[in-house]
């Protein structure tokens, strides 16, 4: 199936006359329908809310490192910090930034489209996302404060007295999530449709950069997974406000028999993790895609095993919807589920390992430039490696039983879906900033930011695994009087807190760099990294409205034409004329699959 | 180059940290040695993988670093190598999974001759129950839960009458005997976790969850909650004492049955505070504090938990959340217990429930709290030191 026929192209935005570029400031930068502006709006909002998330993590670390030293951090506030930190980082920062930020900016440019196929819906997606952030932040200011139920929001606890924010906070949290899901769905439908329908001539699915593949499959997962969160959010909201009993069995709260009966707390957990596990890959797959492109460009070598990489992304995406209950090995569900979910979970390690091998084999006999984006990509490799390997502990049910709910879990998921994707976010921003703004980010600030962030996060989370093996439970306000925890563990917590605060401060370097370079940075070439993929081949930098000037590009090869034997330069752009040579490796004996014009 | 050195240092540092750091599993005290073994297998296999991959990347960063005039090799794919890598990884994964599933099969298969222990979780304390001579636990339901029947045992179920209820937060178990732990919750999710036993499970209101283990080392072990259950989550502590069968039998023989505890309950209000009733009334208050669950949040040893400790509370001046202060006297205690939401003490979450009790009971409870009072200055100093 090839949608890039010349007629299809003519029907899409073949000339700019039908869509004059908006002139007023409001329509250009505020109510903009341009995917590039919307991407920047998404990214700036996500980074701003991410700053709140980082501050919350530091407040939490203050209590863990120096318990009782800070009067304003009482138990209630601690749990509120924990909950809001988790929710902000996973949903409002990472999901929004990868799909709304990177997805929005890169998909049309990388597949050679003028914009998303539904620009108005795209604009709406951002504003609805912003509304969800506003509602989320409002929960800090309602009586009782935001919810402190933990980011998993497990009932019955999340809606009963005894949990901070059980009055207003939890309601706003659920409402905010529902709004966020509306935004993600609007954005997601757009990204999927754009990838399937708006690719330029010659851009077959198997010529798309892996970044697009990662975001594409992640978006499909979001469209499948978020509805499960949506319905569980609605049901929990009804349990909380109208007294229904979807998740609430007959129970006693604070000495009083409640009116609830017949509901199932485990049902919520199943629904939550049916969303929650794909969510890990909603964050990870775009990171996988982006890091593949960073490594290939900066090692000046075609990505190793491109088709295997695509199939690995698709296989991981498919498997990710049948592994959810590995989060529930000790939840009290039917114990025989454990066999199935442990097996599927460990199977998913195979395609994931293939990706790691192929990144490494891309470096083999490469021409490695240690630019700032490349440093972040390599740091991702190291961090993701340890995070993925510790996943093999937690996915294997009998190893998980003693480790579940301890700091081992905290260390694992921060490595694998906190730090690793964020390193890719940074790498991606250092890589594409010149295209977005036409200016380079400062290299020295970038390197300083890189070293503190990479080594710091490793020093924070690596030792934390050992506290978990010892049996220290997570989500504890303090550990007063537990004798099985030696005093040395508390010294370690002090050290971790100090490092965490240094890392948080180092993020200021990044923000200063962004702000300063956007106005005063060194002007960038159109293609400063000499990359082959289409987004670097726009007629102007930054790309203008409609991206491609009067004529859409035509693509003649894949996005990884680096180090081609006999070529004049060490890369050949995707849209360079066919006589420039170089094609993607043909599949064994089925070259007729190619949809490219001769 | 610096990146290659950094990776080398990370590998070296991680390995040295692993060897020399003081934190590892608590000494095992149950039959679940196989869980520790699968942990070791996983650690060795993944550890080797981690070291090899990182060293290989570090090598490549030096070997294939950018040099002027040098170009990358052209190698889009290598089918043979890819197949080998997939095959090798699959074998490695199976080597991890197979022992894990075998151990899990044992975990799921419960021994038939196990001693049955029920653990009940509630915010924020543990309760324990044995089935008694008939070997059957009485039926329970949330609607039976009251201050005098915290387990919610159905008073009409004959199987429940001989159930043995353990007072306090400490349960004893005989050494070397398999124990089947049945777990319930009256309110929210909890998780009964004794790190040296390894085995554990969540407790979920509305259902019974279970796990089993056999103790192998005598001792007194800390039990803690490992599933977030509200602001008092870290305070939910209990103890499991593993001892030789003779000591266990002596302890077991003294446990009160459910029928007995119910028979005693109506007597409680029948002990009015006569002129000589002071000591008895304090004793009645102490029993009430346990039965009504007050001790889940209020200690008598000076350490604050979810609520202020009762040691030295009477006679002290408390600061309220709104900044005002109040002297804790009999009237304060009575009004606070009657309407806990009217005002809030600074530094503590406003979660105290209104617990129904008669005037007699209230008088007894207040008398008990008063008996724990101490001179204001000393109390204030202790409270401060404890925080």
pLDDT digits (tens, 9 = 90+) for B13-57: 999 999 999 999 999 999 999 999 999 999 999 999 999 999 999
Which one of A63, A374, A401 makes the best mutation probe of the B interface by having the most chain B beta carbons within 10 Å?
A401
Q: Reduced to 3 DSSP states, what percent helix, strand and coil does chain A have, rounded to the nearest 5? A: 65, 0, 35
Nearest residue on chain A to B149, alpha-carbon basis = A255
Query: Chain A closest CA to B276's CA: distance in Å?
Result: 32
Average pLDDT over residues B143-172: 90
A167 has a chain B CB within 8 A of its CB = no
Nearest residue on chain A to B80, alpha-carbon basis = A305
A541-586: pLDDT as tens digits = 999 999 998 999 999 999 999 988 888 888 999 999 988 876 777 6
Q: What is the mean pLDDT of chain A?
A: 92
d(CA B201, CA A108): 49
Token pair belonging to B148: 């005098």
For residue A365, which residues of chain B lie inside 8 Å, CB to CB? 64, 72-73, 75
Query: Cβ of B86 and A354 within 8 Å?
Result: yes
Q: Are A53 and A93 in contact (CB under 8 A)?
A: yes
Which one of B100, B294, B299, B350 makes the best mutation probe of the A interface by having the most chain A beta carbons within 10 Å?
B100
Q: Which stretch of A434-438, A553-557, B350-354 has the lowest confidence by average pLDDT?
A: B350-354
Query: Chain B closest CA to A325's CA: distance in Å?
Result: 14
Which one of B227, B352, B387 makes the best mutation probe of the A interface by having the most chain A beta carbons within 10 Å?
B227
Residue B318's contacts (CB-CB under 8 Å, 6 or more residues apart) are: B308, B325, B326, B328, B345, B346
Three-state helix/strand/coil letters over A409-444:
HHHHHHHHHHHHHHHHHHHHHHHHHHHHHCECCCHH
For residue A476, which residues of chain B lie inside 8 Å, CB to CB? 233-234
Q: Are B196 and B35 in contact (CB under 8 A)?
A: no
What pLDDT score was predicted for residue A300? 94
d(CA A512, CA A442): 10
d(CA B242, CA B219): 5
Nearest by CB: B201 against A301, A332, A370: A332
Query: Cβ of B228 and A79 within 8 Å?
Result: yes
Judged against a pLDDT cut of 90, whether residue B270 lies above it is answered with: no
Nearest by CB: A264 against B105, B198, B206: B206
What pLDDT score was predicted for residue B105? 96
In terms of C-beta density within 10 A (0-12 exposed, 13-18 middle, 19 or more buried), how is residue B284 classed?
buried
Nearest by CB: B231 against A75, A488, A585: A75
Which of A337-351, B61-75, B322-336 has maximum average pLDDT? Answer: A337-351
pTM: predicted TM-score of the whole model, two decimal places = 0.91
Query: Chain A closest CA to B300's CA: distance in Å?
Result: 15
Q: Give residues 236 to 255 of A whose Cβ lies within 8 Å of B.
A: 249-255
Angle of CA points B88, A357, B54, to nearest 5°? 100
A495 has a chain B CB within 8 A of its CB = no
Q: How far is CA B311 from the centre of its chain?
A: 24
Which one of A74, A145, A157, A239 makes the best mutation probe of the B interface by having the most chain B beta carbons within 10 Å?
A157
Per DSSP, the three-state class of A294 is helix
What pLDDT score was predicted for residue B385? 55
d(CA A358, CA A356): 5
Per DSSP, the three-state class of A492 is helix
What pLDDT score was predicted for residue B153? 94
Which one of B31, B74, B353 makes the best mutation probe of the A interface by having the most chain A beta carbons within 10 Å?
B74
For residue A264, which residues of chain B lie inside 8 Å, CB to CB? 206
Q: Are B321 and B346 in contact (CB under 8 A)?
A: yes
Percentage of residues in chain A having pLDDT higher than 70: 94
For residue B76, which residues of chain A lie inside 8 Å, CB to CB? 302-306, 560, 584-585
More confident residue, B319 or A315: A315
For residue A303, which residues of chain B lie inside 8 Å, CB to CB? 76
d(CA A441, CA A432): 10
For residue B108, which residues of chain A lie inside 8 Å, CB to CB? 335-336, 338
- Beta strand B238-243 pairing with B170-174: parallel
Judged against a pLDDT cut of 90, whether residue A506 lies above it is answered with: yes
Task: Count interface pairs A-B at CB distance under 8 A.
Answer: 345
Three-state helix/strand/coil letters over A65-120:
HCCCCCCCCCHHHHHHHHHHHHHHHHHHHHHHHHHHHHHHHHHHHHHCCCCCCCHH
A368 has a chain B CB within 8 A of its CB = yes
What pLDDT score was predicted for residue B312? 85
Q: Are A3 and A197 in contact (CB under 8 A)?
A: yes
User: Can you tell me the ipTM of this complex?
Assistant: 0.90
Judged against a pLDDT cut of 70, whether residue A8 lies above it is answered with: no
Nearest residue on chain B to A458, alpha-carbon basis = B10
């Amino acid at each position: 199936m090839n949608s890039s026929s010349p007629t299809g192209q003519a029907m899409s935005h073949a000339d700019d006359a039908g869509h004059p570029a908006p002139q007023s400031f409001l329509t250009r930068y505020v109510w903009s329908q341009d995917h590039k502006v919307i991407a920047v709006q998404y990214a700036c909002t996500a980074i701003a809310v991410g700053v709140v998330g980082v501050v919350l993590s530091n407040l939490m670390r203050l209590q863990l490192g120096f318990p009782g030293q800070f009067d304003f951090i009482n138990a209630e506030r601690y749990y509120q910090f924990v909950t809001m930190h988790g929710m902000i980082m996973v949903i409002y920062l990472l999901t929004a930034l990868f799909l709304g930020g990177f997805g929005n900016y890169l998909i049309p440019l990388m597949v050679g489209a003028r914009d998303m196929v539904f620009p108005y819906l795209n604009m709406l997606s951002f504003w609805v996302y912003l509304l969800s952030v506003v509602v989320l932040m409002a929960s800090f200011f309602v009586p009782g404060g935001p919810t402190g139920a933990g980011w998993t929001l497990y009932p019955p606890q999340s809606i009963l007295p005894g949990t901070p924010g059980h009055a207003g906070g939890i309601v706003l949290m659920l409402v905010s999530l529902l709004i966020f899901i509306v935004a993600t769905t609007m954005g997601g439908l757009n990204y999927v449709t754009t990838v399937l329908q708006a690719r330029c001539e010659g851009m077959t699915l198997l010529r798309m950069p892996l970044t697009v593949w990662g975001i594409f499959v992640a978006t499909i997962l979001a469209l499948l997974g978020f509805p499960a969160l949506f319905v569980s959010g609605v049901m929990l909201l009804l349990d909380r406000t109208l007294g229904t009993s979807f998740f609430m069995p007959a129970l006693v709260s604070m000495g009083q028999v409640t009116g609830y009966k017949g509901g199932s707390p485990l049902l919520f957990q199943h629904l939550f993790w049916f969303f929650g596990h794909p969510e890990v890959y909603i964050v990870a797959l775009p990171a996988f895609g982006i890091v593949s492109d960073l490594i290939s460009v900066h090692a000046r070598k075609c990505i190793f095993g491109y088709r295997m990489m695509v199939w690995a992304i698709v296989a991981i995406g498919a498997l990710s919807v049948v592994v959810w209950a590995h989060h529930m090995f000790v939840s009290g569900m039917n114990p025989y589920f454990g066999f199935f979910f442990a097996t599927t979970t460990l199977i998913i390690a195979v395609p994931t390992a293939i990706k790691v091998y192929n990144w490494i084999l891309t470096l083999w006999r490469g021409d490695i430039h240690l630019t700032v984006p490349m440093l972040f990509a390599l740091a991702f490799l190291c961090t993701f490696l340890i995070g993925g390997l510790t996943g093999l502990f937690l996915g294997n049910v009998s190893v998980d039983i003693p480790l579940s709910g301890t700091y081992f879990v905290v260390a694992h998921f921060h490595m694998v879906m906190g730090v690793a994707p964020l390193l890719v976010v940074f790498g991606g921003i250092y890589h594409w900033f010149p295209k977005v703004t036409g200016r380079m980010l400062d290299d020295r600030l970038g390197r300083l930011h890189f070293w503190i962030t990479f080594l710091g996060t490793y020093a924070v989370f690596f030792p934390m695994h050992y506290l978990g093996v010892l049996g220290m439970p997570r989500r504890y306000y303090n550990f007063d009087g537990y004798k099985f925890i030696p005093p040395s563990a508390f010294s370690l917590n002090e050290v971790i807190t100090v490092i965490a605060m240094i890392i948080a401060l180092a993020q200021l370097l990044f923000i200063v760099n962004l702000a300063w370079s956007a106005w005063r940075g060194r002007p960038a070439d159109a293609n400063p990294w000499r990359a082959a993929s289409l987004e670097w081949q726009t007629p102007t930098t930054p790309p203008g409205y409609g991206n491609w000037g009067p004529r859409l590009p035509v693509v003649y090869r894949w996005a990884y034409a680096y180090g081609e034997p006999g070529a004049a330069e060490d890369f050949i752009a995707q849209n360079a004329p066919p006589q420039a040579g170089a094609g993607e490796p043909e599949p064994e004996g089925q070259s007729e699959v190619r949809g490219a014009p001769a | 180059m610096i990146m290659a050195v950094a990776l080398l240092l990370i590998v070296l540092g991680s390995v040295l940290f692993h060897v020399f750091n003081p934190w590892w599993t608590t000494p095992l005290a149950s039959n679940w040695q196989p869980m520790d073994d699968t942990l070791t297998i996983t650690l060795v296999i993944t550890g080797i993988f981690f070291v090899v991959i990182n060293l290989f990347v570090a090598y490549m960063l030096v070997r294939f670093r950018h040099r002027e005039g040098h170009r990358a090799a052209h190698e889009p794919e290598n089918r043979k190598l890819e197949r080998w890598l997939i095959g090798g990884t699959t074998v490695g994964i199976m080597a991890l999974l197979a022992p894990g599933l075998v151990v899990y099969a044992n975990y799921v298969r419960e021994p038939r001759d196990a001693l049955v222990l029920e653990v009940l979780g509630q915010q924020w304390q543990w309760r324990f129950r044995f089935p008694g001579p008939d070997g059957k636990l009485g039926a329970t339901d949330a609607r039976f839960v009251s201050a005098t029947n915290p387990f919610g045992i159905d008073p009409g179920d004959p199987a429940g009458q001989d159930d043995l209820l353990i007072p306090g937060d400490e349960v004893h178990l005989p050494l070397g005997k398999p124990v089947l732990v049945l777990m319930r919750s009256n309110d929210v999710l909890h998780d009964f976790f004794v790190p040296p036993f390894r085995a554990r499970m969540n407790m979920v209101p509305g259902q019974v969850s279970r796990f089993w283990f056999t103790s192998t080392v005598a001792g007194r072990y800390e039990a803690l909650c490992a599933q977030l259950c509200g602001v008092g989550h870290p305070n939910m502590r209990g103890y499991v004492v593993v001892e030789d069968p003779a000591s266990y039998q002596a302890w077991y023989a003294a446990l009160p049955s459910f029928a007995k505890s119910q028979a005693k309950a109506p007597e409680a209000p029948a002990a009015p505070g006569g002129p000589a009733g002071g000591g008895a009334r304090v004793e009645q208050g102490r029993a009430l504090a346990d039965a009504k669950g007050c001790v889940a949040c209020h200690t008598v040893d000076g350490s604050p938990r979810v609520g202020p400790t009762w040691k030295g509370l009477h006679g002290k001046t408390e600061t309220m959340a709104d900044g005002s202060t109040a002297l804790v006297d009999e009237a304060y205690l009575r009004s606070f217990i009657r309407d806990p939401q009217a005002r809030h003490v600074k530094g503590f979450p406003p979660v105290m429930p209104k617990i129904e009790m008669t005037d007699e009971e209230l008088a007894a409870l207040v008398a008990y709290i008063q008996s724990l009072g101490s001179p204001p200055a000393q109390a204030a100093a202790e409270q401060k030191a404890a925080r």
